[in-house]
Structure 1
């Protein structure tokens, strides 16, 4: 992350992003669609040939409809930030590229992305899931259109559910109900839940904060991680650890697969990849529950989007490609192959005959994409450190939340 920060600062202070990145440049929304564009995306499956055929079908359809040329390049996930930033700085980057929610606000805030709102004035966005569109917006402006979503929720081991005397068809929906099940699981010698304290805040603290009605930081820089609602989430996480509902290594764990696979954990927080693993192993009988509710019913789920650099030489065509790539037909092709969840309601019928994926697709309406803020990545480690100190008994939940708030303010320069 420090390398990315340094590169961003270097590019901006050196003025190498050229006039195309000036926030004062007006979008040429009425520009003529034609010519040539370059599109960058990452590999989304392990089958390059089949994936290449999917891209060929979508791109050929766009080229035929608009009489343009699309040059497609697949770039690796590793070092993607450095590759994109360096290419844009040299003014030889793509006209369209794939981005995720913690990249978008950094790039947009630095003036590196084209605002798409002028190109969407007569474009119907109602079919998109609201939480997916939220992931594409920074400072009241839209900088991308979403192609895929995930929704994380609890997968329950039905054998353990039955062992604690509960019904797999009647799963917990609230914190209170989950706590009741967690106590029963502990009494029977099971852990209630996995908790990867060494991983991303998106999969640990943040969903509890959102469900409590709290927040981390708003887009107008209001720090809310130590609000009463957010502190309630700190308290719940701490309670889970102190009561033994989650494994002993949860403070720093990066994975607890052996415990789950071994039938020692009642529930695991997972998404589509969890489903794929469970179906391929075919060892654990499971059921999937809706995201929990305290004050709000919310969870985490990333959103993938396509964006246009502000120094693209063919903005109108690039913006049109983003719209085409995220239309219903293209989303069906893309997500049928990749097995991600479409961001358009009209494309979700691709999972009509797949019970579990269809169920997960219904939960994206509750899936927040993380902290949408330029410092969203930067604040994760300081927050993680405070949560770990709390779980280790070194700080109270309030003290940990207050210290996290101070760390966020320091990143903001407040």
Structure 2
């Protein structure tokens, strides 16, 4: 059934690409016979981006960034902000119906599937020497030996945050760095900063509706154990390794063996975790760096470590990219727009609203200075997800199985065996 669906999608994509973006609202030439001051004048480029601004003003910010490009090239750039809730579905529907963008924003879990559909254009022929010298994370965008992606967001690392006042109230003077130290520290936490007993040593977001929970609460532990999620070829899931088994068992033990994670952890969302920590009711929480601004606003006396350690340090960092769509009529112009979007002046303007680290040498570091050391000193510990066929479906199954484990309905070995078996069916389609 899935193979049949893939054939249908491929056929639909072929028709969409044959029709070209001129029919679907992508790059279109000016009306016949009109005077054009240049080859790009009168054309329209469509760009799809997600909501990332802290002020929820992504559309306004990007429109301003596009203004000089539009004026210089005599083109119109239409920016559409696509909600996260149906992100991949929006792309799939748009591309197969011939209504896709010229330039898109994709995260690693979705990229390989769209490459297989023929929807993404390699950018090697457009990449200049200046681009290669300036852009910091080009290697992250090389898939199957080709430059399918140019990273635009590399950052928002997941870190382990702690409440200094709660630790002090429990007589804890040393910040744990290893798994064993973390367990022993959490066992000592009995009171909050004011001596009250309404406090949790550690909380996680296992009630969150999004598989992004795995970014904070599972993947880092696999990497800390020295493991990987997939083999280098992307043909097999490898959490049935010692590191993978240790990561799953570590979570199980935090919940059931040591009683560090409370029963309610299976209902907590990301917002719940931020609230509990901000209100001084949790000693430790895993959190993306951009979300920690809430702790400052709440007046929490907090600190962080990049990650715990078992065999090594390891944590998640986003590595999302701009992609050039195969359906773009004027691919050279669309790539020129990508260059403009990733330029230092554009990124400086963007990062005033969306706090991420620079992706090029032509921009200074404008993110929270507290996290500069994460990138300058712990760069080797930062991992992004690999581009693997069907990985979104695999991660979704992994997340559901881990949720069942945290509810006491699955055992660690079953989580691993059932997830790996399911991954095999996807990877071998």
Question: How high is the TM-score relative to the length of structure 2?
Answer: 0.79
Give the distance between the partners of 2:183 and 2:121, measured in 1 at CA.
Answer: 46
Q: Which moved more, 1:335-344 or 1:393-402?
A: 393-402
Give the distance between the partners of 1:55 and 1:251, measured in 2 at CA.
Answer: 37
Cα offsets for 1:310-362 (capped at 9, x unmatched)? 121111111122122112222111112222333335534224xx443545555
Out of 306, 315, 327, the position equivalent to 2:322 is: 306
1:69 paired with 2:75, answer yes
**CA-atom RMSD in angstroms:** 3.3
What is residue 149 of structure 2 aligned with on the other side?
144
Q: Which moved more, 1:379-388 or 1:320-329?
A: 379-388
**Is the CA contact 1:155–1:286 (under 8 Å) kept in the aligned structure 2?**
yes
**Is the CA contact 2:109–2:392 (under 8 Å) kept in the aligned structure 1?**
yes
Deviation at 1:367, TM superposition (A): 3.3
Deviation at 1:224, TM superposition (A): 0.3
Out of 282, 290, 312, the position equivalent to 1:265 is: 282
1:182 paired with 2:199, answer no
Runs of 5+ unmatched residues, structure 2: 21-37
SS in 2 for 1:62: helix
Residues 20, 310 of structure 1: alpha-carbon distance in 2 compared, 3 angstrom cutoff: farther
Give the distance between the partners of 1:278 and 1:288, measured in 2 at CA.
Answer: 12
What is residue 53 of structure 2 aligned with on the other side?
45
**Is the CA contact 1:325–1:331 (under 8 Å) kept in the aligned structure 2?**
yes
Out of 164, 167, 170, the position equivalent to 2:170 is: 164
What is residue 241 of structure 2 aligned with on the other side?
227
Deviation at 1:54, TM superposition (A): 3.8
What is residue 26 of structure 1 aligned with on the other side?
none
Give the distance between the partners of 1:138 and 1:409, measured in 2 at CA.
Answer: 21
Out of 314, 331, 337, the position equivalent to 1:321 is: 337
Deviation at 1:364, TM superposition (A): 6.4
**Is the CA contact 1:217–1:223 (under 8 Å) kept in the aligned structure 2?**
yes
SS in 1 for 2:189: helix
1:239 paired with 2:253, answer yes
Out of 230, 233, 246, the position equivalent to 1:217 is: 230
Residues 382, 92 of structure 1: alpha-carbon distance in 2 compared, 3 angstrom cutoff: closer
Cα offsets for 1:128-147 (capped at 9, x unmatched)? 454x852x343232222122
Give the distance between the partners of 1:377 and 1:402, measured in 2 at CA.
Answer: 18
Residues 208, 13 of structure 1: alpha-carbon distance in 2 compared, 3 angstrom cutoff: same
What is residue 24 of structure 2 aligned with on the other side?
none
What is residue 103 of structure 1 aligned with on the other side?
110
Deviation at 1:246, TM superposition (A): 1.3
Deviation at 1:76, TM superposition (A): 3.3
**Is the CA contact 1:223–1:409 (under 8 Å) kept in the aligned structure 2?**
yes
Residues 396, 7 of structure 1: alpha-carbon distance in 2 compared, 3 angstrom cutoff: closer
Give the distance between the partners of 1:229 and 1:47, measured in 2 at CA.
Answer: 39
Residues 298, 60 of structure 1: alpha-carbon distance in 2 compared, 3 angstrom cutoff: same
What is residue 297 of structure 2 aligned with on the other side?
280
Give the distance between the partners of 1:57 and 1:307, measured in 2 at CA.
Answer: 21
Give the distance between the partners of 2:202 and 2:315, measured in 1 at CA.
Answer: 15
Residues 262, 172 of structure 1: alpha-carbon distance in 2 compared, 3 angstrom cutoff: same
What is residue 16 of structure 1 aligned with on the other side?
15
Give the distance between the partners of 1:5 and 1:288, measured in 2 at CA.
Answer: 46
Residues 90, 381 of structure 1: alpha-carbon distance in 2 compared, 3 angstrom cutoff: closer
Cα offsets for 1:357-400 (capped at 9, x unmatched)? 54555566643333532312101232234324444555543343
What is residue 173 of structure 1 aligned with on the other side?
177
**Is the CA contact 1:191–1:244 (under 8 Å) kept in the aligned structure 2?**
no
Question: How high is the TM-score relative to the length of structure 1?
Answer: 0.82
**Is the CA contact 2:221–2:247 (under 8 Å) kept in the aligned structure 1?**
yes
Cα offsets for 1:91-124 (capped at 9, x unmatched)? 3432112222222222122211011122225244
Give the distance between the partners of 1:338 and 1:156, measured in 2 at CA.
Answer: 24
Greater relative contact order (Cα 8 A, min sep 6): structure 1 or 2? 1
**Is the CA contact 1:102–1:372 (under 8 Å) kept in the aligned structure 2?**
yes
Runs of 5+ unmatched residues, structure 1: 22-31
